[in-house]
Structure 1
């Protein structure tokens, strides 16, 4: 690999901790990270551009993709409940932001949205599950009617999903559960997901770590926590269709399935 010119600090990390979700937009930004290490080798820039093109092409047929161009590793993932059109829209919005905010010759980027993430780098990060700090996003836009009952149901559902997701196809689970209180039946919606290049045990470890953070959002009506290798979200508002719900029941117990 040719020489690399370093500008300022090794990395600039911009973590966005949003205390109030204003919408369920798939393109709501959770994290942006641009490396300040800028390559003096023009081939890196060319490889980055090819990586974006290849990832977008693959996302037309999949929700998780990896790619490798000369000296550049790429990875992108959409939440499995997104349609192909919404997945590509999230990816395109991310690439637009990356091109606006990052040097085109930056040797690494990591942008995460509610609906997808995009990452590239000159080192292989496919097995990485942790960052310097997870991103925690809690919703404060309204209050739940029965905080105690709501929190209990959320924690029970998320605990089951953390146990089930590593054993499920594509490391993805979506579920909902009703909260019975004072004659009302609000519903909790939740999604768990890991990147598909990590091991089952690392997926479980990653989800366990972010669940510990995410439950601090309770009794707020929604929250998201994200690490390099996994994603966990709950909300009292639907952000996926019932047709996306997965059956976690056979996978909730211990052991492999």
Structure 2
């Protein structure tokens, strides 16, 4: 595991400092950046013993790979990682567990947006396969606006086996597929459940589809055949939230 990683963006840094300030090593701030939120970050970083460096934009761009860093970048200790072994504990701790499974979502912006929506909807964990999926990069953390520090991202070795294990724990697996017979508004979506969303271009893989208890679709009235995966995820999650009361 790497000894440190970079995080950038106001909300992502606020979340780290609020929840895990011991991870903070060093804060890099754009020279002349004069905003209340940035001053607050600087004061908090100093309070927790982190060093502060005031830098030119080029230095920050290099540390953030030219992403929109909002004038602040932090060097932090790596956050906790979650794997197959953590899932049983998450399910056991939440009798009405609510999970989001992303099968092959490779765009970090989409993963970050899904994490942000999952946090808003009260999802207990987001599950992704270790291979052929985006992971927790600085881009994902920035787009997630702090949700990546709150919602566990569980990376599993074999997604089909994980779904089978969840079914054994009493979790109902609902997958989204354009060819499903029922749309989401015709289905009962309550109780312990996991919503499975497919990849941006191909949807769910065959094995993933075969391990779903139920398939649903979003009604599409216009000329486009599908929505962006993060948008579709938001629509589905909040219909489940509505039904769960």
Higher helix share: 2
Higher strand share: 1
